[in-house]
Structure 1
Amino acid sequence: MNVEDVVEWANNSIFDKTGENLTPLQEAILTGVWQRQKYPQIAKDFHCSESHVKKEAAKLWEKLGEDLGEDLKKFNFRSKVEKKYRVSQVSNSGDCLLQEIDINICNQFIKNIKNTQTRSQSPPETSQTQNQSTIINLIEAPELTTFYDRTSELTTLKQWILEDHTRLITIYGLSGIGKSAIALKLIEEINTQFDYIMWKSLNNIPTLSTLQTELKQFFSKSQQTPLSTVIDYFRNCRCLLILDDLQDILKRGELAGQYLPGYEDYSKFFKQIATSPHQSCLILLSWTKPIEIATLEAENRSTQTLNLKGLGEEATEILREKGLIDQENWLELITLYQGHPRWLKIIASTIIELFNGSVSLFLTEQNDIYIGDLEPNLKSHLERLSESEKTVINWLANEDQPVNISQKPANLVLSKPEFMQAIQSLIRRNLIEKVEGGGRSLFLLNPVFKAYIQFDTTEP
């Protein structure tokens, strides 16, 4: 959906209710907000005051809220429109129609999106579903309620899939960092390029055989002749498969990325997806980077990894949603909690509860990083560590400066290989960060985890 479609829809919606068209300023507000501009920039471009823009915007959200929800605001306008509507090109016509595509069946969300345009990179002689509907099953996907701007990461993912034809992509990062959100947003933007899109969660730990059976049942629904294997469907159709919660089939208490007993065949499956010629894409979402992914990345251009980090200034939308005050201190709070969306939401609730939403009071009272209700989120990561990782992470928690790991500390009861493996594993879990200093790489423990470990060890 482009901005012209949005303005046209909004104009029609308001005209139906009031008999009046959008004013030029209202059109400017819609255009600017859709392009993620701030009110001061919109006011500057329209040559009026920011207060006037805010006043007109409030009226606009109230009018459009009848269609999109009473809680409509600037920060959620785009996500609400994109969730509720899409633009569908009408066959043999230059017209555009806004079609509502949410189909709720027993609270399950399934999309069937009509695609009347030729899909790129889908040769007619191999795709059995050309010019049919894109079949999308998001039953096991979480709901995308709000999406915070990740333009750079989305651009990278779209390039990998649509231009570079990457077959295997891993998006990994800390829990709650936004892996599922960016994958869902990606689906919204590229769904017309595929014949099938399916989201599967591995949190119920299915065997590979069970997973493949479910996938073949899904892919075969519109096929006259069912195919033998998943890779056959990947070759004959353009499929996008998202496997969420990959960490749930990985071992606890071992170095990062090792599979549970009986689940090692997933590694072979992923390697087959990466190295076999086909026109589809598999996206893995995980807390941890699996071992074989690093090897495949080094050997195969059809494998890419995105290590998802926190938000930057875009995280101010989270604090605005929560109704915090002292906006001049927001960036300090965001930096302290590394722009992590879930952490910021939890801490914002604490600030409301204890300081009536005052960020400055919260920061004044905190000599160290406050953990509070973040503890369960942090603990779930540390519980997965091996003994050697626990040894290293406890050592790092007591270091005041980034450390050079070329020399193993004498007081650590680990061999040099064990020490290096533990460091590498902690990096793949996003618990250790690498920084440059004096022309060499130095390492430090994630500050929030450091504060939690120090607090935990000082408790009686």
Structure 2
Amino acid sequence: MDIQEILQWTDEQVFMKKEKHLDSLQRRILQEVWQGEKYPEIAKKCNRSEDHIKQVARNLWKMLSEILGEDIKQSNVRSILETKALSNIYNNNGSQIVGYINSHINICVEKRPDAEDTQTRSPFPPDSTQNKAHTRIIDLTDAPDIPYYHNRTSELSTLTEWILQANTRLITVYGLSGIGKSAIALKLIEQIQTEFDYIIWLSLTNTPTLSILQTELKQFFERSQPTPLPTILDYFRSHRCLVILDDVHNVFSSGQIAGEYLAEYKDYGKFFKQIATSSHQSCLILLSWEKPREITTLEGENRPTRTLHLKGLGEQAAEILKQKGLTHEEKWSELINLYQGHPSWLNIIASTIVELFDGNVSRFLAEGNDIYLGDIEPLLESQLERLSESEKKVSQWLASQDGAVDISQPPADRELSQSELWQAIQSLARRGLVEKIQVGGRSLFFLNPVFKAYIQSKSNPIKEKQ
């Protein structure tokens, strides 16, 4: 027997006993262990921590032991399942169940919860044979392992409304690295998954060409299709699909203005535009450090396209400090504001406070409002190294200012033309590095304070807090 038959048979046994199917990660672990892989290798392939993989595996072996009446563990799961499945499958009227998951597509198949849900989302008539067999298919193999979700009720409500009420076809969630884009997307999936026939998460970390990406999407959709459809758009029209593309900034060019595609990836822009401008019932979500350039144009044309700039957590970030065991809670708000409520930055700084000041926030802040960077620096550098030359010059200028500036009144000794200045400001804003405020009816711009501190420290290292 092959692993596909085993997966199908095991999933059926679990469903009969537990009334739920194996999820995508359980299937992947079972498949990899079957092929002789160890937990560290499985963790790397699934983009999860080794501890998380071990915990899921322990729970899986325990559940299968209860269902099959055997002491199942990593070392014997293959032999036991193979023996059990053979005796059941081939001795049951000679029938053979063929699996539908191959070695590089891992899916979680869940039955629709009720007839009404199937009727509204399926392209087939309610009483048809196709509809009765209709399933919801979810593949989150590429999704990152997020240990905590920080409360973002407002942003989550906005995304849910855009998708379920406004039928938005293309959504871009952009923001600084580590701000929580993947976390909110995973929470969104958890809340609205019953509204979709297909859900898949794909990462562009390895910069696949559009052709490779579309092939992977079609392979995913075709797993449950008796007759494959010609294009991705055909699937988007025939079913309600939710596709999340993570790390979209990897197809943008470093050293250029924000959202400028690498030469061999310009067709991504055409693909995104096609999704936004064509009629269908699905949604594509882009997660990126930068806002794609064509999105602004599509929004200006009143297309069903929306953009969410994800910022810091605000007071909700106090939960991070609580988990780290920091003291002097009355100073937490000051610390949160200093580091912009950025969850990753606060996690790093909280660890520093524990290491250097035994968790005492007051002692850490004793020197005033200087921003200590420490282990945050590599994260900042990874974003700043993507800037164009004009953006670097404007960043240096903004870092030298005491407050927000009016770009309609630039300095006389500036190196850039007015057009270049405005384009650089616009590009920095699309990276989340520059913010805009309204003062006396005028728009003023300022550099993110943490990045400002970093740029100043490189110009004058003595200013950085020791």
Asked whether the two chains share a fold, i.e. TM above 0.5, the reply is yes
The farther-off stretch of 296-305 and 153-162 is: 296-305
Does 1:305 pair with 2:307?
A: yes
Query: 1:366-408 deviations in whole A, cap 9, x for unaligned?
Result: 5411111100000011100011111100000000011000123
* Residues 12-411 of structure 1: pairs in structure 2 closer than 5 A: 101=23, 103-106=26-29, 107=42, 108=46, 110-117=107-114, 118-119=116-117, 122=121, 124-125=123-124, 132-411=134-413
Aligned pair in 2 of structure 1 residues 233, 99: CA closer, same or farther (>3 Å)? closer
Q: Distance in 1 between matches of 2:183 and 2:133?
A: 29
**Secondary structure of 2:365's aligned partner:** helix
Distance 1:376 1:441, change over 3 A: same
Determine helix, strand or coil for the equivalent of 2:137.
strand
Query: Which moves more between the two structures, 107-116 or 217-226?
Result: 107-116
State the alpha-carbon separation in 2 of the partners of residues 210 and 97 from structure 1: 36
Pick closer, same or farther for the CA change 1:332–1:427 going to 2, 3 Å.
Answer: same
Question: What are the Cα deviations for residues 201-256 of structure 1, in whole angstroms up to 9, with x where unaligned?
Answer: 00100000010011000001000000111111101111100000010000011111
RMSD in angstroms over aligned alpha carbons?
2.1
Counterparts of 2:208 and 2:177, CA distance in 1: 21
* TM superposition shift of 1:315: 0.7
Aligned partner of 2:62 in structure 1 is none
Q: CA deviation at 1:124?
A: 3.7
CA positional deviation for 1:126: 8.6
| Letter of the 1:111 counterpart | C
Distance (whole Å) between structure 1 residues aligned to residue 158 and residue 125 of structure 2:
27
Q: Is the 8 A contact 1:325 1:358 kept in 2?
A: yes
Match of 1:42 in 2: none
| Structure 1 residues 301 and 370: alpha-carbon distance in aligned structure 2, compared to 1, 3 A threshold | same
* Structure 1 CA distance for aligned equivalents of residues 192 and 410 of structure 2: 47
Instruction: State the match for 1:61 in structure 2.
Output: none
Structure 1: 5+ residue stretches without partners? 1-89, 91-95
Q: Distance in 2 between matches of 1:124 and 1:110?
A: 21
C-alpha deviation, 1:365, in angstroms:
3.2
Of 111-120 and 420-429, deviating more is: 111-120
Distance 1:290 1:449 in 2: 22
DSSP 3-state at the match of 1:205? coil
Query: How far is the alpha carbon of 1:348 from its aligned partner?
Result: 0.3
TM-aligned CA distance change 1:325 to 1:298, over 3 Å: same
Q: Within 2, Cα distance between the matches of 1:221 and 1:367? A: 56
Letter in 2 for 1:250: F
**Partner SS for 1:171:** strand
Closer, same or farther: CA 126–422 of 1 in aligned 2, 3 Å? farther
Structure 2 residues not aligned, in runs of 5+: 1-14, 30-41, 47-105
Q: Cα distance, 1:97 vs. partner?
A: 7.4
Cα 1:97–1:325 shift into 2, 3 Å: farther
Shift of 1:415: 1.0
Counterpart CA distance in 2 for 1:386 and 1:253 is: 4
Query: Are the aligned partners of 2:136 and 2:198 in contact in 1 as well (CA < 8 Å)?
Result: yes
Q: How far did 1:144 drift? A: 2.6
Counterpart contact for 2:21–2:110, Cα < 8 Å: no
Task: Give 3-state SS (helix, strand or coil) of 1:365's partner.
Answer: coil
TM-score normalised according to structure 2 size: 0.75
2:123/2:238 contact within 8 Å kept: no
Structure 1 stretch displaced more, 124-133 or 343-352: 124-133
Q: Which residue of 2 aligns with 1:33?
A: none
Pair 403,121 (structure 1): closer, same or farther in 2 beyond 3 Å = farther
Distance 1:129 1:259, change over 3 A: farther
Structure 2 residue identity aligned to 1:115? R
Q: Which amino acid aligns with 2:332?
A: W
- The answer for the alignment partner of 1:67 in structure 2 is none
1:443 partner SS: strand
Over the matched positions of the two proteins, sequence identity in percent amounts to 61
Measured in 2, the distance between the counterparts of 1:316 and 1:338 equals: 12
